[in-house]
Amino acid sequence: VQPDTANPELELFEGAAITRQAGHAWAEPGVEAHDARDGNITDQIVVTGFVDMNSTGTYLLTYTVQDGAGNPASATRTVTVVGNRTADLNATVTMDMIWCPPGTFTMGSPTTEAGRGTDETEHNVSLTQGFYLGKYEVTQTQYEAVMTGNTDGLNAKPSEWLNNPNRPVEKVSWADAQIFLNRLNAQQSAYIPAGWAYVLPTEAQWEYACRAGTSTAYSWGGTIASTNANYNASGYSQTRDVGLYAANPWGFFDMHGNVWEWTADWYQATYPTGNPVVDPTGPSSGALRLFRGGSWINNDSDLRSAKRFDYTPSTRYSNVGFRIGFQKQ
């Protein structure tokens, strides 16, 4: 019998560098060890290091294992623990963002859900990279802080209901939102980690954050009341200040109602196939962009977590705004 001189192999699930949000319990993403002669020796792995989920920072974990002949293998993983993010748009205006961890969820709606569309086929989606998303829709004050002095000829105060600083900005097109993001990234360049950028969320990221771990029609349950969100049964017939209604389980406000929110994706009536679909970004081209969430003028079914609505990217309506993400590109 030939002597066993081959080293075992270690596989780190999710890779050698991961990010987690502070305040949550630590859960090992997974690691396996295999040896050509001994087979699966995962139960022999020794882990050294510690991750303090209550303190932001970068932590190092080391995984070591030996096979039956004493041949070693080792691997390391860095864990970056992050808190929620606040961007300073100017001396007085800030923007709060919440971390969304990587995860898998069911996107779309069941065939039994009232008001569902034919383009909402249920499918599993895996988002392998965490991201930040705005706690609120972009407000008039935030939009003005970034867009004042823009050289693109855009009105920094486009809203139908002006001088309401804490209401969501509206009457902004998909292209206007991109100009806002370009300016924000330029203005914040000294404070943005390498490889990161402010972006519109993908459609999948938006629904993941909207659902916040739920599977019902709305993030609070299966039915809606006028006290849940600003929509056509609420009695206001216009936008309202952000944050007046209860947040979803992850802390996001107004994911349902107030204004529709642009996403990054082109519209396609059929979702991509796969189980799960991994990090979908929509088709590479198209004629219509997607917005999500419903608005002050819409009925209850338009506010469902799975509801999709497509429109021309140049659309500027008083019920369409946006919410921004921040992620590693």
pTM summary value: 0.82
**Please, which residues bridge with residue 198 across strands?**
326
β-strand 277-278 against 123-127: which pairing, if any? parallel
Helical packing angle, 174-187 and 140-147, nearest 10°? 60
What type of residue is 1? V
For 179-247, the DSSP string reads HHHHHHHHHTGGGSPTTEEEEPPPHHHHHHHHHTT--SSBTTBS---TTTS-STTSS--S---TT-SPP
pLDDT digits (tens, 9 = 90+) for 162-186: 999 999 999 999 999 999 999 999 9
Q: Give the C-alpha separation, 100 to 132, whole Å.
A: 6
Q: Which residues pair with 276 in a beta bridge?
A: none
Which residue in this structure is represented by tokens 């970004």?
281
**Contact, 143 vs 172, CB < 8 A?**
yes
Q: Per residue in 3-38, pLDDT tens?
A: 899 999 999 999 999 988 887 789 999 999 999 999
Tens-place pLDDT, residues 131-172: 999 999 999 999 999 999 999 999 999 999 999 999 999 999
- Rounded Cα distance between 148 and 138, Å, is 15
Q: How many of the other CB atoms lie within 10 Å of CB of 199? A: 19
Q: Whole-angstrom Cα distance, residue 178 to residue 197?
A: 12
Could you give all domains of the chain from N- to C-terminal order, each with its CATH number? 9-82 (2.60.40.10), 85-328 (3.90.1580.10)
Token pair of 188 as six digits: 């914040």
State CA 31 to chain mean position distance: 26
| Residue numbers of the chain with a pLDDT score lower than 50 | none
Sign of torsion over alpha carbons 247, 200, 232, 123:
negative
d(CA 283, CA 193): 28
